[in-house]
Amino acid sequence: MIKAKKYRTRLVAVGVAGLMLVTACSSKSSSKSAASSVAATTPAAASAPVVSSSTAASSSSSTAASSSSSTAASAPAAASGAASGTFKSRVTIPQTPPLVDTAKYKKTPPWTIGYSDASLSNSARTFIWQFTQWAASTYPEIKKIVRTDANDNPNQQVSDIQNLVSQHVSCLIVSATSQTAIDPAIDAAQAAGIPVVIQERDVNTNSWTSFVDTQTYQIGTLQAEAVAKILGGKGNVVLLEGLAGNGAAEQTHQGHVDTFKKYPGIHILATQYSGWDPAKGKTIMEGWLQAFPHIDAVVSDSGLQNAGAYEAVQAAGRLSEIKAWTGDSLQQWIRQVQADHIPGAIVNRPLRFGAEAVDDCANILAGNTVPKRWYDPVEALDMNNLAKYITPNTAGSDQWWDWWDLPAQWEPKA
Instruction: List, for residues 93-132, the tens digit of each pLDDT value.
Output: 999 999 999 999 999 999 999 999 999 988 889 999 999 9
Q: Which of 327, 346, 365 is the last residue of a domain?
A: 346
Q: Is residue 88 situated within a structural domain? A: yes
Identify whether residues 318 and 181 lie together within a single domain: no
pLDDT value at position 376? 85
Whether 13 shows a pLDDT value over 90: the answer reads no
Query: What gap in Å lies between CA 277 and CA 396, rounded to an integer?
Result: 17
Query: What gap in Å lies between CA 111 and CA 367, rounded to an integer?
Result: 13
Q: Is residue 1 situated within a structural domain? A: no
Q: Please provide the average confidence, as pLDDT, over all residues in the chain.
A: 84
Whether 52 shows a pLDDT value over 80: the answer reads no
Contacts of 44 (CB under 8 A, 6+ apart): none
Backbone φ and ψ of 146, nearest 5°: -105, 115
Between strands 50-52 and 20-25, the pairing is: parallel
pLDDT tens for 163-175 read: 999 999 999 999 9
Identify whether residues 195 and 340 lie together within a single domain: no
Identify whether residues 96 and 164 lie together within a single domain: yes
Give 372's DSSP letter. Answer: S
Asked whether 400 and 4 are in contact (CB, 8 A), the reply is no
pLDDT value at position 395? 85
pLDDT value at position 40? 63
Q: Is residue 275 situated within a structural domain? A: yes
pTM of the model: 0.78
Identify whether residues 66 and 189 lie together within a single domain: yes
Asked whether 125 and 142 are in contact (CB, 8 A), the reply is no
Whether 365 shows a pLDDT value over 60: the answer reads yes
Q: Worst-scoring range by mean pLDDT, 46-50, 135-139, 150-154?
A: 46-50
pLDDT value at position 43? 65
Q: Which of 291, 313, 346 is the last residue of a domain?
A: 346
- 213 forms bridges with which residues in the sheet? 375
Whole domain around residue 380: which residue ranges?
Answer: 6-208+351-410
Taking CA atoms, 202 is separated from 15, 153, 205, 317, in Å, by 32, 16, 9, 39
Query: What gap in Å lies between CA 358 and CA 134, rounded to an integer?
Result: 9
Asked whether 360 and 83 are in contact (CB, 8 A), the reply is no
Smallest CA-to-CA distance from 323 within 234, 253, 394, 388 is with 234
Whether 92 shows a pLDDT value over 60: the answer reads yes
pLDDT tens for 187-230 read: 999 999 999 999 988 899 999 999 998 889 999 999 999 999 99
Asked whether 277 and 240 are in contact (CB, 8 A), the reply is no
Mean pLDDT within 263-280: 97
Identify whether residues 187 and 318 lie together within a single domain: no
Identify whether residues 250 and 323 lie together within a single domain: yes
Q: Which of 304, 329, 346 is the last residue of a domain?
A: 346
pLDDT tens for 221-240 read: 999 999 999 999 999 999 99
Say if residue 180 is exposed, middle or buried (CB neighbours under 10 Å; 0-12, 13-18, 19+).
middle
Identify whether residues 191 and 307 lie together within a single domain: no
Taking CA atoms, 299 is separated from 36, 344, 346, in Å, by 22, 9, 11
Identify whether residues 377 and 290 lie together within a single domain: no
Backbone φ and ψ of 376, nearest 5°: -100, 120
What percentage of the chain exceeds 90 in pLDDT? 69
pLDDT tens for 58-84 read: 333 333 222 223 223 223 333 333 434
Whether 32 shows a pLDDT value over 50: the answer reads no
Query: What gap in Å lies between CA 149 and CA 33, rounded to an integer?
Result: 10
3-state secondary structure of 77: coil
Mean pLDDT within 32-37: 36
Query: What gap in Å lies between CA 263 and CA 234, rounded to an integer?
Result: 7
- The count of structural domains within the chain is 2
Between strands 171-174 and 142-149, the pairing is: unpaired
| Cα dihedral value 66, 143, 60, 178, nearest 10 | 120
Identify whether residues 137 and 32 lie together within a single domain: yes
Say if residue 412 is exposed, middle or buried (CB neighbours under 10 Å; 0-12, 13-18, 19+).
buried
CATH number of the CATH domain containing 184? 3.40.50.2300
Whether 257 shows a pLDDT value over 60: the answer reads yes
